[in-house]
């Protein structure tokens, strides 16, 4: 009997061994191995990003340019969405039945239990309607958030837009703080000032159950951070002027850029055809975007900063004259005959001095002045001499902001083209080209490409008599309203201030009695200085250019108007510039006949030369 | 002191001290075991509350809307049940062992026929009014009684084939019916009685062979077959080298090794072709839960995460995140141990293990002090069942045992389970309280 009784020890030993093994195993899982703790955190604690309000943008007069409006996403939890009348749902959302089915499939593929977006960005009206019917659609609910909204239809190209961050951006370490589904500035001011506008996200740690359903805050929110709203901004844009410019350009193609010369503040930024920025906020964002992207008029092409393939035409004669004055090869009284054998011209008095040449835009005059500038006799060899001259000339030109990016505070700017010795050496061979090869530069044609922004900036240079401030769209960030120092740096040209006077006088004559008469505001006592230009266009009717600033005595606005296929700067672009200047300086428009003319688009029917 | 008492005391003989001479069953009750019982039940109840507790929506622990409130109802009725078990004449258990066993077998069969399947299982009997009973739970104590009754008359040491067959039949008949009810987990419990048989004289070889077979089965799944066989051959060689008697049985050893080889190579067939898919998955989950963490590995992975996140001291009562938000399934019943692990850490888990060890040691002690074979065998049957539940239930939550849906005794939520273990334990305590009335028969 006793030996059987001893078996109790065997049994007790088994109990003990199991107990010890379990305690050791638990010690390993709970104390030694930390991976389970991390797994537990990712399991049950979800970080919820608190999206801050994006900063608002005001125009220079305090008018709201960009605001936040509530939008509503229709969410679906597939598991709970049972017995859904798909047809009714599709009708309610105004989408094709197949789309609705497709979205169901997508949501299910994403997760059976987690919510996904069924319909993005419902408007407030849609929301009200859908909310009423939602009771018949279990598993659907509305998630409110904010989207960008615009109380006007203007300035799309400069403002840009925000959209969901792309997969490519997510991989980029620059956007380390972003998560899939986040909205980010994709163009324009929204993109350039993203870091200020976005604000600071807050993080809330929430506990969720296995189905992702919210179970309250973690540790009573001890680790949560509040979101900080993005900073509001003041733009340099004058919304009234902007809207008026868009009104004038409606139906045309081209650009208007207006700058306050002393500050470089962009007053109007028009790229025609333009679009209503509200198109990019609603549920049809994707559709609208594709439509605009594909339209033949290239609406999404940001003309003021991207159209850099077109020569500036006659307005460039001003640049040539200024450089020639600075180099001392001409003086204000230099006279050249209008020798049409050199280059074609139109009838006008001859010979002319500098002012007259500007006023009448005499091609042979500038041919000769530019020849004097390029071939200064620094070398006996005419080829070498031309090359040296072009090199010097180019350095002067670049100080005007041509041939390089000006550094406007929105992305996408192009640099333009300014003829260089390298370019000609490449095309013709070294020492194989001379003045007769490049003379068309003298009248602003040939190997030149200037953006409308650079044209307007050039007018600011002339108005300031020798310097420009980098054109920009944002004046200040934040509540203090202090202008951003980096946006107000002056850039001086290589031309001394007094050389600008004869040019300015000539420009005043252009508007008073020359090709720019349609820009005249003499009626209201404003002296406008301007210059017309025509950019030769091998593909169709020439493009019309008009640059101007006013008032002559104390310039407040410098403007470049570029009308594609406008043929004559004086006919199409000049009146637009005049109207814009008057609108900006006086807040009214008295030259109604010009407005009527512009809106009639009759200039498009003028016979080309 | 009443006369009757003194008379009784005299009858049982001089070895019984006077402090044991109370006639009241409560006076002779093993209060130490009762204390452990109530500690476990109370801790279980608190943890059941912790499982349903939600900081958003705090419901009173006593509310009958939640499991903890219902469990309180089971605990209360359990107390009534235990009083009844204690005041009933203790002789009933031995005398009526077979009739009780027969009745339960009939109930099991009846259940198999009439039960509405619940999640594929035909083991629940609907008593109406929302109350359901799982007769398989009652089969444990009934079988334990029948085994004890049978062994009180026969000796397992005498290698009587017929008696052994009868004993096997008593043990496995309810198990087979329960397997037919699709409750394989509960049926496995009946294999635990092997511990009681061992104590009553069963050849230790059966225990060793059974244990070895289980070990080889598990190892086959974990270790490459060739290494396993080489290892076993090396072990057998070592044993023969150490014990010359085994050397003389060389042919037997060779035959044994051939059997092991056969078993190793039939494991795959067994797992893939004999087991049902859900059973295969449980085996797979034990071996490598990470292979399919959202599928068959879910329970084990999540339960290990919950326990592992508890750390040394735990997150504190009601502070768990894993066990609260349904990450671990069957949270209040089969996986209740996770709550302990998460909220009370290693310290709490180890205390709970220690409590169970204490209870089991105490039951062994109680069993050994019985004068009747019936009482002793019954005690070992009780401890076998509790041990099996403990090993499997805790083992599966920490990845040391396959997931078998059996509750943690006294701890898990559920009336059938709590009642079943209460009956099991308190019949023993009733017998124990009256042990001095028994005459020594061996």
DSSP conformational letter for A593: H
pLDDT exceeds 50 at position B16: no
Distance from CA of B346 to the nearest CA of A (A): 6
A319 & A439 share domain: yes
Expressed as residue numbers, the domain containing A162 is 47-235
pLDDT computed for residue A125 by the predictor:
80
Q: Specify which residues A146 forms β-bridges with.
A: A70
Residue A16 lies in a domain: no
Secondary structure class of B309 (helix, strand, coil): coil
pLDDT exceeds 50 at position B201: yes
* Higher-pLDDT residue of A135, B286: A135
Q: pLDDT band at B409, cuts 50/70/90? A: very high
Supply A294's token pair. 């594909």
User: What average pLDDT does this structure show over B41-51?
Assistant: 89
pLDDT computed for residue A210 by the predictor:
52
Residue B280 lies in a domain: no
Supply A165's token pair. 């961050």
Distance from CA of A73 to the nearest CA of B (A): 26
Q: Is B200 near chain A, with CB under 8 Å?
A: yes
Sequence-distant (6+) residues with CB within 8 A of A473 are A158, A189, A235, A236, A237, A266, A269, A408, A409, A410
Rounded distance, CA A13 to CA A73, Å? 64
Residue for token digits 């028969």? Answer: B441
B67 & B15 share domain: yes
Q: Which of B274, B291, B315 is the last residue of a domain?
A: B274
Distance from CA of A210 to the nearest CA of B (A): 5
A58 & A159 share domain: yes
Q: Which residues of A touch B303 (CB under 8 A)?
A: none
A227 & A252 share domain: no
Instruction: State whether A26 and B346 contact (CB < 8 Å).
Output: yes
What value, to the nearest 5°, has the Cα angle with vertex A165 and ends A159 and A169? 110
Q: Which of A189, A204, A235 is the last residue of a domain?
A: A235
A224 & A259 share domain: no
pLDDT computed for residue B1 by the predictor:
38
B312 & B397 share domain: yes
A393 & A497 share domain: yes
pLDDT computed for residue B390 by the predictor:
95
Instruction: State whether B368 and A36 contact (CB < 8 Å).
Output: no
Closest Cα to residue A536, out of A327, A372, A310? A310
CB B150 within 8 A of CB B170: yes
Rounded distance, CA A229 to CA A173, Å? 23
Q: Is B350 near chain A, with CB under 8 Å?
A: yes
Q: pLDDT band at B380, cuts 50/70/90? A: very high
pLDDT exceeds 80 at position B394: yes
Chain A contact residues (CB < 8 Å to B)? 1, 4-5, 7-8, 10-12, 14-16, 18-19, 21-23, 25-27, 29-31, 33, 35-37, 39-41, 43-45, 207-211, 215-216, 218
pLDDT exceeds 50 at position B24: yes
Q: Which of A190, A211, A235 is the last residue of a domain?
A: A235
Residue A387 lies in a domain: yes
pLDDT computed for residue B164 by the predictor:
84
Chain B residue with Cα closest to A43: B322
pLDDT computed for residue A608 by the predictor:
46
Instruction: State whether B309 and A11 contact (CB < 8 Å).
Output: no
- Sign (positive/negative) of CA torsion B249, B254, B256, B257? positive
Residue A166 lies in a domain: yes
Q: Which residues of A touch B362 (CB under 8 A)?
A: none
**Element (H or E) spanning A548, and its range?**
strand A543-550
B336 & B428 share domain: yes
Please give the backbone phi and psi of residue B126, each rounded to the nearest 5 degrees, phi first.
-85, 115
pLDDT computed for residue B224 by the predictor:
79
Instruction: State whether B387 and A15 contact (CB < 8 Å).
Output: yes
A139 & A278 share domain: no
B194 & B230 share domain: no
A404 & A517 share domain: yes
Rounded distance, CA B206 to CA B210, Å? 6
A196 & A255 share domain: no
Q: Is B346 near chain A, with CB under 8 Å?
A: yes
Q: Is B24 near chain A, with CB under 8 Å?
A: no
Instruction: State whether A22 and B398 contact (CB < 8 Å).
Output: yes
CB A123 within 8 A of CB A283: yes
Q: Which residues of B touch A79 (CB under 8 A)?
A: none
Q: Which of B274, B289, B312 is the last residue of a domain?
A: B274
- Pairing assessment for the beta strands A254-260 and A265-272 based on DSSP bridges: antiparallel
Rounded distance, CA B370 to CA B381, Å? 13
Supply B242's token pair. 């150490």
Longest CA pairwise span in chain B (Å): 74
Phi-psi region of A45 (alpha: psi -120 to 50; beta: other; left: phi over 0): beta
Residue B71 lies in a domain: yes
B255 & B308 share domain: no
Closest Cα to residue A564, out of A587, A536, A530? A536
Q: Is B290 near chain A, with CB under 8 Å?
A: no
Distance from CA of B302 to the nearest CA of A (A): 8
Residue B334 lies in a domain: yes
Q: pLDDT band at B183, cuts 50/70/90? A: confident
pLDDT computed for residue A82 by the predictor:
77
Q: Which residues of B touch A45 (CB under 8 A)?
A: 321
Instruction: State whether B346 and A8 contact (CB < 8 Å).
Output: no
Q: Which residues of A touch B307 (CB under 8 A)?
A: 26, 29-30, 36
Domains contained in chain A, number: 2
Q: Specify which residues A490 forms β-bridges with.
A: A469
B80 & B107 share domain: yes
Instruction: State whether A22 and B394 contact (CB < 8 Å).
Output: yes
pLDDT computed for residue B416 by the predictor:
85
Chain A residue with Cα closest to B387: A15
Chain A residue with Cα closest to B345: A30
DSSP conformational letter for B265: H
pLDDT computed for residue A344 by the predictor:
87
Secondary structure class of A66 (helix, strand, coil): strand
Q: Which residues of A touch B368 (CB under 8 A)?
A: 5, 8
Sequence-distant (6+) residues with CB within 8 A of A358 are A317, A318, A321, A502, A503, A506, A507, A509, A510, A531
Low-confidence ranges of chain A (pLDDT < 70): 1-2, 38-49, 113, 205-223, 605-609
A383 & A508 share domain: yes
Residue A10 lies in a domain: no
Q: Which residues of B touch A216 (CB under 8 A)?
A: 54-56
Distance from CA of A283 to the nearest CA of B (A): 35
pLDDT computed for residue A41 by the predictor:
64
Residue A453 lies in a domain: yes
B168 & B245 share domain: no
- HSE of B432 in the Cβ direction (CA atoms, 13 Å)? 29
Distance from CA of A80 to the nearest CA of B (A): 18
CATH number of the structural domain spanning residue A480 = 3.40.710.10
Residue B117 lies in a domain: yes
Q: Is B307 near chain A, with CB under 8 Å?
A: yes
- Pairing assessment for the beta strands A64-76 and A116-122 based on DSSP bridges: antiparallel
Q: Say what the ipTM of the complex is.
A: 0.85
Supply B67's token pair. 């499991």
Instruction: State whether B308 and A29 contact (CB < 8 Å).
Output: yes
Distance from CA of B61 to the nearest CA of A (A): 19
Expressed as residue numbers, the domain containing B117 is 3-202+302-437
Strand order of the sheet with strand A254-260? A265-272, A254-260, A557-563, A543-550, A529-535
Q: Which residues of A touch B327 (CB under 8 A)?
A: 43-44, 209-210
Q: Specify which residues A185 forms β-bridges with.
A: A162
DSSP conformational letter for A202: E
pTM for this one?
Answer: 0.58
Rounded distance, CA A35 to CA B320, Å? 17
3-class secondary structure for A107-174?
HHHHCCCCCEEEEEEECHHHHHHHHHHHHHCCCEEEEEEEEEECCCCCCHHHHCCEEECCHHHHHCHH
Domains contained in chain B, number: 2
B93 & B110 share domain: yes
Rounded distance, CA A448 to CA A393, Å? 13
- Sign (positive/negative) of CA torsion B245, B248, B254, B256? negative
Q: Is B362 near chain A, with CB under 8 Å?
A: no
Rounded distance, CA A275 to CA A295, Å? 12
CB B133 within 8 A of CB B118: no
Instruction: State whether B322 and A45 contact (CB < 8 Å).
Output: no
Instruction: State whether B56 and A8 contact (CB < 8 Å).
Output: no
B124 & B212 share domain: no
Instruction: State whether A40 and B54 contact (CB < 8 Å).
Output: no
Q: Is B294 near chain A, with CB under 8 Å?
A: no
B104 & B30 share domain: yes
Centre a 10 Å sphere on the Cβ of residue A171 and count the other Cβ atoms it contains: 8
Please give the backbone phi and psi of residue B22, each rounded to the nearest 5 degrees, phi first.
-65, 140
A434 & A499 share domain: yes
The model's pLDDT over B342-352, given as tens digits with 9 standing for 90+, comes to 889 999 999 99
pLDDT computed for residue B442 by the predictor:
43
A214 & A282 share domain: no
Centre a 10 Å sphere on the Cβ of residue B154 and count the other Cβ atoms it contains: 17
B20 & B142 share domain: yes
Please give the backbone phi and psi of residue B36, each rounded to the nearest 5 degrees, phi first.
-60, -40
**Element (H or E) spanning B18, and its range?**
none
A515 & A597 share domain: yes
Residue A6 lies in a domain: no
pLDDT computed for residue A603 by the predictor:
74
- Pairing assessment for the beta strands A467-469 and A490-492 based on DSSP bridges: antiparallel
B166 & B210 share domain: no
User: What average pLDDT does this structure show over B29-55?
Assistant: 88
């Amino acid at each position: 009997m006793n030996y059987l009784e001893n078996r109790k020890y065997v049994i007790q030993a088994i109990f003990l061994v199991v107990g010890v093994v379990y305690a050791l195993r638990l010690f390993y899982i709970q104390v030694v191995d930390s991976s389970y703790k991390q797994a537990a955190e990712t399991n049950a604690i979800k970080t919820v990003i608190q999206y801050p309000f994006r900063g608002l943008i005001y125009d220079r007069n305090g008018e709201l340019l960009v605001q936040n409006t509530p939008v509503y996403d229709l969410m679906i939890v597939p598991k709970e969405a049972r017995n859904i009348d798909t047809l009714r749902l599709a009708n309610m959302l105004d989408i094709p039945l197949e789309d609705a089915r497709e979205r169901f499939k997508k949501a299910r593929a994403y997760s059976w239990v987690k919510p996904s977006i069924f319909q993005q960005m419902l408007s407030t009206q849609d929301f009200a309607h859908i909310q009423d019917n939602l009771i018949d659609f279990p598993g659907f609910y509305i998630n409110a958030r904010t989207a960008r909204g615009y109380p006007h239809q203007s300035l799309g190209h400069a403002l840009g837009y925000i959209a969901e961050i792309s997969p490519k951006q997510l991989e980029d370490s620059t956007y380390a703080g972003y998560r899939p589904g986040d909205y980010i500035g994709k163009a324009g001011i929204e993109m350039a000032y993203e870091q200020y506008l976005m604000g600071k996200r807050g993080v809330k740690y929430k506990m969720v159950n296995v189905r992702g359903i919210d179970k309250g805050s973690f540790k009573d929110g001890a680790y949560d951070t509040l979101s900080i709203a993005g900073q509001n901004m003041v733009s340099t844009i004058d919304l009234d002027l902007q809207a008026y410019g868009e009104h004038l350009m409606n139906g045309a193609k081209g650009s208007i850029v207006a700058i306050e010369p002393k500050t470089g503040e962009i007053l109007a930024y028009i790229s025609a055809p333009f679009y209503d920025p509200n198109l990019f906020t609603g549920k049809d964002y994707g559709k609208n975007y594709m439509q605009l992207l594909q339209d033949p008029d290239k609406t999404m092409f940001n003309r003021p900063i991207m159209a850099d393939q077109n020569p500036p035409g006659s307005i460039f004669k001003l640049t040539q004259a200024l450089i020639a004055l600075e180099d001392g090869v001409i003086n204000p009284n230099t006279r050249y005959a209008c020798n049409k054998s050199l280059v074609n011209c139109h009838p006008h008095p001859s010979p002319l001095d500098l002012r007259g040449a500007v006023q009448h835009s005499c091609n042979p005059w500038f041919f000769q002045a530019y020849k004097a500038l390029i071939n200064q006799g620094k070398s006996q060899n005419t080829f070498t001499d031309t090359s040296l001259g072009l090199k010097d000339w180019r350095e002067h030109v670049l100080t005007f902001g041509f041939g390089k990016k000006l550094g406007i505070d929105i992305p996408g700017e192009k640099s333009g083209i300014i003829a260089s010795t390298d370019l000609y050496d490449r095309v013709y061979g070294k020492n194989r080209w001379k003045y007769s090869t490049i003379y068309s530069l003298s009248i602003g044609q040939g190997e030149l490409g200037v953006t409308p922004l650079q044209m307007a900036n050039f007018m600011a240079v002339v108005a300031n008599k020798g310097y420009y401030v980098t054109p920009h769209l944002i004046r200040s960030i934040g509540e203090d309203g202090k202008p951003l120092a980096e946006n107000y740096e002056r850039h001086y040209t290589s031309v001394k201030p007094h050389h600008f006077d004869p040019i300015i006088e000539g420009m005043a004559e252009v508007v008073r009695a020359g090709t720019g008469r349609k820009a005249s505001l003499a009626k209201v006592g404003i002296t406008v200085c301007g210059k017309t230009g025509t950019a030769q266009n091998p593909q169709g009717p020439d493009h019309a250019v008009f640059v101007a600033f006013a008032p002559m005595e104390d310039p407040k606005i410098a403007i470049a108007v570029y009308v594609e296929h406008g043929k004559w700067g004086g006919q199409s672009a000049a009146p637009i510039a005049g109207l814009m200047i008057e609108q900006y300086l006086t807040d009214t428009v008295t030259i109604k006949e010009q407005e009527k003319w512009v809106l009639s688009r009759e200039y498009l029917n003028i016979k080309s030369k | 002191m009443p006369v009757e008492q003194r008379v009784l005391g005299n009858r049982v003989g001089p070895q019984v001290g006077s402090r044991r001479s109370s006639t009241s069953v409560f006076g002779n009750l093993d209060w130490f075991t009762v204390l452990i019982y109530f500690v476990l039940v109370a801790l279980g109840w608190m943890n059941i509350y912790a499982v349903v507790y939600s900081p958003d929506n705090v419901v009173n622990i006593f509310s009958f809307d939640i499991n903890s409130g219902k469990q309180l109802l089971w605990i209360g009725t359990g107390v009534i049940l235990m009083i009844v078990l204690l005041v009933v004449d203790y002789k009933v258990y031995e005398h009526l062992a077979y009739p009780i066993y027969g009745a339960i077998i009939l109930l099991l069969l009846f259940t198999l026929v009439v039960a509405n399947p619940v999640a594929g299982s035909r083991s629940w009997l609907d008593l109406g009014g929302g109350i359901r009973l799982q007769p398989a739970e009652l089969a444990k104590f009934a079988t334990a009684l029948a085994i004890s009754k049978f062994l009180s008359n026969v000796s397992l040491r005498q290698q009587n084939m017929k008696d052994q067959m009868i004993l096997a039949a008593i043990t496995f008949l309810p198990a087979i019916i329960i397997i037919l009810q699709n409750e394989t987990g509960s049926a496995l419990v009946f294999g635990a009685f092997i511990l009681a048989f061992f104590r009553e004289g069963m050849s230790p070889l059966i225990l060793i062979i059974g244990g070895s077979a289980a070990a080889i089965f598990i190892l086959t799944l974990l270790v490459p077959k060739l290494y396993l066989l080489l290892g076993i051959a090396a072990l057998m060689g070592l044993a023969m080298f150490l014990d010359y008697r085994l050397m003389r049985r060389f042919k037997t050893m060779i035959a044994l090794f051939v059997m092991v080889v056969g078993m190793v190579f039939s494991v795959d067939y067994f797992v893939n072709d004999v087991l049902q898919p859900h059973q295969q998955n449980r085996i797979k989950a034990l071996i490598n839960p990470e292979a399919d963490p959202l599928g068959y590995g879910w329970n084990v992975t999540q339960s290990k995460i919950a326990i592992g996140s508890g750390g040394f001291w735990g997150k504190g009562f009601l502070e768990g995140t894993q066990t609260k938000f349904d990450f671990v399934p069957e949270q209040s019943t089969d996986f209740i141990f996770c709550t302990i692990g998460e909220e009370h850490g290693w310290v709490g888990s180890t205390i709970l293990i220690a409590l169970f060890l204490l209870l089991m040691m105490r039951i062994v002690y109680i069993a050994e002090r019985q004068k009747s074979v019936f009482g002793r065998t019954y005690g070992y049957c009780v401890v076998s069942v509790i041990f099996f539940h403990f090993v499997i239930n805790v083992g599966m939550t920490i990845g040391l045992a396959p997931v078998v849906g059996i509750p943690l005794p006294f701890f898990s939520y559920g009336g059938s389970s709590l009642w079943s273990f209460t009956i099991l334990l308190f019949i023993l305590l009733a017998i124990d309280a009256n042990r001095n009335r028994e005459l020594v028969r061996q």
